[in-house]
Structure 1
Amino acid sequence: MTPNRIRGRTVLVTGATAGIGASCARSFAREGARVVATGRRTERLEALAAELRAEHGAQVWTGSLDVRDRAAVESFRDELRAEGVVPDVVVNNAGKARGMDPLQSGDPDDWDEMIDTNVKGLLWVTRAFLPAMIEADRGHVVNIGSIAGRWTYPSGNVYCGTKYAVVALTEGLNMDLAGTRVRVSSVDPGLVETEFSEVRFHGDSERAESVYRGYTPLSPDDVADAVLYVVNAPEHVDVFNLVLMPTDQRHATIVHKTDPAVEPPPADASPV
């Protein structure tokens, strides 16, 4: 039986109001961790916290937080510290895609939203909580990336660029932390059925549903299992990168579908 190295640890999950983030919060609570769940939808956070307390007896803190707001991230860190809460695991899950237009006709507002969330938001959260890990000489940063950070696909342009940035930041941070016991990992999923596509298509639910039709995508729980695996590894083991895709997907643009008439899916499914 694999030892439980998660019990008693304090885990911060960003973007915990839905999808992969909510699944990660549930999985960590089930394993006995204390959970700090953040996101922008307060009612969902409170419902999640009530669920985790009722089902797992978990200690849970919530924070209505937009990771794009650096001052808000720093203020939230200070509020947690005042309560004696110092996360020793950070799951940088908050992220999004907007649009699938060619670069020459893309919407700069969409670009700002993706860059500010997927890159700068990850930086603000990591910068806020990492120094305490270094001081304790123990901790783990897990970045939820995407196979879009490995393979660019048509009309993925800026979104793929943000996920390539996550790869570079994960590798660079691992180098910066040489000589410490703080670990850094990225978990990079392919197609996962979440709210991701509905956000990408600006609320077009019919188009979003077609993305996941005709094959079996990953579930948010599948990705949460991968996150648990890298965090639960022995402290002398640093899983730098874990890539997972549904069996029906073998590359960014190779997806076996039983109904080829439905719209080909985007190659990835990062959390929202």
Structure 2
Amino acid sequence: MTTAVVLAAGMGTRMKTDLPKVLCPVLGRPMIEYVLDALETAGVERVICVIGYRAEDVQQALAARKNLEFVLQTERLGTGHAVKMAKDKLQGVNGPVVIVAGDSPMLQSSSLQKLLAYFSEKQPACLLGTLHKDNPHGLGRIVRDASGGFEKIVEEKDATDEQRQITEVNMSTYVFAAPELLHALDLLKNENRQREYYLTDCPAILLGEGKSVAALPVLEPCEAMSINTPEELTVVEDALRPMLAK
């Protein structure tokens, strides 16, 4: 069985609305609906949704969805902390765990299928879905070793001038082996300025233990389109409209 954890606890402050961000409408539908559609089409059988801000509203909006479970993140202490909230529900799971953001309506089921196929064949501890972006400003770069293997994620603020030239970026789309994810979450620390737990540290933890971590640049350019402002929402809607008309 393939399980997914969808991160959906955030507020929509920059969207100039008091709605939870994942309920902000995109072409008349809550943006998280597109994410859930993509997961379902890709063959994900079970979805755990991490909710926080106005949690009851998110649950109510998604009440008609099958195979959807909810866990509550009462304090928002980073992406790693959000996934930690799903730990109890992941106990005993042995298959792949897909982790995606609930505010990414451009997520493509075809990309998820490619990641899951690679994961099934190679069985890494962790697989990152990445893409090459012409203007990667602000995004975490994928640093590879001399043989082309995944080495680390470097955030823009920590990157050297040379690393800023890298166009392959992390898009917060992961597939973990469930036991390895639980193991990495147990070792996750919040030793950073924000005192938050970052999911991006989990691949590094597993790699440091000699386990297999891979990055696969199979995401589509449209999947780099984010929605943080009403202006970005308009851009995404313009891109999504012809895709839905096909």
Would you say same fold, with TM above 0.5?
no
- TM bucket (normalised to shorter chain) is 0.3 to 0.5
Give the greater-gyration-radius structure (CA).
1
Q: Greater strand share, 1 or 2? A: 2
Q: Greater helix share, 1 or 2? A: 1
State the TM-score, normalizing by the size of structure 2: 0.40
State the TM-score, normalizing by the size of structure 1: 0.37
